[in-house]
Structure 1
Amino acid sequence: MKKFLLAVLAASTVWAGEAEDKRLQEASTVLGEIMSTGDKAIPQDLFSKAQCAVIVPAMKKGGFILGAKYGRGFAACREADGKGWTAPVGVRVEGGSVGFQIGGAESDVIMLVMSQKGMERLLASKFTLGGEATVAAGPVGRDTTAQTDASMRAEILSWSRSRGVFGGIALQGATLRADEDVDTALYGSGVDRKSVLQGKKPVPPAAKGLVDLLNKYSAYKGN
């Protein structure tokens, strides 16, 4: 019986790792595809100013019950010196406004955390977009010279891509929470997600592609 239980545990651990590897690859693909669209991408100057990024591939938009799970993805932040990005942690996005819930399509979602206060909220175990943290639909294009008000006011800017169409979306009322199962699969039991987002954990091999893309598409933060 003991050997059987150990075998089951080992099998479940391998499965969890494979699941996270696949989701990390999907997140990398989403970021790479969106940022390679030139004039239709997230503005480079916003990405270069972002404190953290959240990427949720294939978020479910169907369902009418508040609290239903819509998407699982990853969040990473800049290193303390502004040079490079930390290893990612798992996040879940749940609920949202009526407009966000209705419909059966899947959407890829990217959020940029634009302020230190927004970063501190991300380090918490749970917060509500549009509640504890201000969120606005992010602009699209090479720069945001004519749209600086959005980035000046909002702690978090958000975009989505559905059926090939990419643009800003305000995820009012959605809850962003820690995905502890993912963190355990990536870093082991009892990992402190704050230490991960503060750059105190090495980047797992499966997450290297995603972190490399974050480095590629966002300039190092200047002093």
Structure 2
Amino acid sequence: MKSRFNRKLAATTALSTALALGLSLGTTQAMATGNETAGQNVNARADVEATGSITSADDADAAMEAQGLIDESVSVVGQMKADEGFQEVLQRAKGIYIVPDYGKGAAIVGGEGGAGVVLVKQSAEWTDPAFYNFGGVSLGAQAGGEAGSMAFLLMTDDAVNAFKSGNKVTLDADAGFTLVNWSADAEASWGKADVVTWSDTEGLFGGASLGVTDINWDDDSNEVVYGAGTDMSAVLAGKVENDNAEKLKNALES
């Protein structure tokens, strides 16, 4: 009886020892695996920092911002078309640069934040939007105010081609462009203008000597929407597509 008890106790002790050893080994292995994974994550982050690669989170943010600009531009087009007679000048335009929210409260002179989209008319149809930013607006006597939505109707081939020429584009008299402020009473001046300017801020462009400086191709937005290496001329020539821009194109066409 005692012998059977001792054998049972020994077996139980051996089993317990084996279980404890197994758990210990499992824990050690799990810790090693966790440390290895953590090390891989650190290395991956280091690779991103070293190469300057855009992370998936950055990609998603850039895509949301780009789509937000497109959606907001639809509303801006609706505002413009509510102005009596504006439909006519829009139909004559060869392109348009829409900036839904310039400055975001910053002073116009020296202000930043002119993120927007450019669309060009090709064979009576609008291309998909290309993304551009600009650094500042000079408004002469009207400087110092604040702006909301802006749009620049490109009335000539020269004005359109300026956007295809590269970065640091300037639209002002010094660059050889004539800019006029939109007004239902100024139809006679449209035929002489390279650019017709519009804003939802009353009096913003009224009587001012206007210039737009440092217009730049937005690499991040264009890349996330159209793919790496997309050329600005390809977008403005209608050679690439963005299915999420149909509402904006329809708003301009209707």
TM range (shorter): 0.7 to 0.9
Q: One-letter code of the match for 1:89?
A: A
Normalised by the length of structure 2, the TM-score is 0.70
| Residues 17-62 of structure 1: CA deviation (Å, up to 9, x unaligned) | 1111112111111112331x2xx24622211111001110111162
Residue correspondences, number: 201
Q: Larger Cα Rg: Structure 1 or Structure 2?
A: 2
Q: TM-score normalized by structure 1?
A: 0.79
d(CA) in 2 for partners of 1:19, 1:76: 18
Aligned to 1:183: 222
Aligned position for 2:144 = 102
Match of 1:220 in 2: none
Q: Trace 1:103-182 onto structure 2 (pairs within 5 A).
A: 103=145, 105-125=146-166, 126-130=168-172, 131-132=174-175, 133-140=177-184, 147-148=187-188, 150-162=189-201, 165=202, 172-175=210-213, 176-182=215-221
Partner Cα distance (2:228, 2:219) in 1:
9
1:60-71 alignment runs, 5 A limit: 60=103, 62-63=106-107, 66=110, 68-71=111-114
1:60-119 deviation line (CA, Å, top 9, x unaligned):
1623764x423100000011x22x10011011122222556513x341001110011111
Give the gaps of 5 or more residues in structure 2. Answer: 1-40, 49-53
Q: Flag structure 1 segments of 5+ consecutive residues without an equivalent.
A: 217-223
Distance 1:88 1:41, change over 3 A: farther
RMSD of aligned Cα (Å) = 2.6
**By how many angstroms is 1:205 displaced?**
2.5
Report percent identity of matched pairs.
22
In the TM superposition, residue 167 of structure 1 has moved relative to its aligned partner by 7.5
CA contact (8 A) 1:95 1:101 kept: no
8 Å contact kept, 1:127–1:177: yes
Distance in 1, matches of 2:115 and 2:143, equals 16
Q: Give the letter aligned to residue 151 of structure 1.
A: W
For the 8 Å contact 2:74–2:247, the answer to whether it is kept is yes
Match of 1:49 in 2: 92
Higher relative contact order (CA 8 A, sep 6+): 1
Q: Secondary structure at the match of 1:157?
A: strand
Whole-Å separation in 2 of the counterparts to 1:189 and 1:180: 9
Partner of 2:17: none
1:3 shift after superposition: 5.2
- Give the Cα separation in 2 of the matches to 1:211 and 1:100: 32
Quick check: 1:96–1:171 contact (8 Å CA) kept in 2? no
